[in-house]
Amino acid sequence: MIEGNRPGGEGGRPDDRVASGLRFGTELVAWVGTPWALAGHSWWAAVVSVVVLIGLPTVFATPGDKTQVIVAVPGWVTVLLVLLQLVAAVVSSWVVWPGWVAAGVAVLAVAALCAELSRWRWLLARR
C-alpha cells in the first residue's frame, strides 16, 4: 500500500492507487447495474438511483479527501456514501447478471472494502 500525503499539504489522506482503482471499478458497476435492476420496476427509480449514486458523492465530500469540495461533510458521511456504492454494486449485480458475474462483483467489492480501510480510518478521524 502506498501511504503518503495528497499533493498540496501536510496531513493529506492516504494515497492508495489500488484502493482508488478498486473503488472506481465498484462505482462503475453500481452506476450501471443499479439503474438496470430498477428500470424494470420504475424508470423514476432508475433515474433517482443514478442521481443518488453519482450526484451525492459529487456534491458531498470531506475536506482534504477531494480537491474541490462543494458541500463539506464529516468523514463518516463519505464512508457511508462509499458503502452505499459497494452495496448497490453487489445487490444489483445479483439481480441483473449471471451468478458468476455477480460473484466476481462481490469479490471486487470485498477487495475494495479491504483496500479502503486506511482511508476510512483517516476519514473517521477527521472532525
| DSSP label at residue 66 | B
pLDDT reading at 4 higher than 50: no
C-alpha to C-alpha distance for 106 and 112, rounded to whole angstroms: 10
Mean pLDDT for the chain overall: 90
Whose cell is 464512508? That residue is 79
**pLDDT value at residue 92:** 98
Q: What pLDDT band is residue 16 in, cutting at 50, 70 and 90?
A: confident
**pLDDT value at residue 8:** 38
pLDDT reading at 7 higher than 60: no
Cα angle 43-46-52, degrees, rounded to a multiple of 5: 140
Between these two residues, 4 and 94, which has the higher pLDDT value?
94
**pLDDT value at residue 14:** 74
**pLDDT value at residue 11:** 56
**pLDDT value at residue 12:** 61
Residues shown for the chain: 127
| DSSP label at residue 9 | S
**pLDDT value at residue 127:** 65
pLDDT tens digits along 18-67? 999 999 999 999 999 999 999 999 999 999 999 999 999 999 999 999 88
Phi first, then psi, for residue 104 (nearest 5°) are: -65, -40
Give the H/E segment covering residue 71: strand 71-72
**pLDDT value at residue 9:** 40
What single-letter amino acid sits at 86?
A: L
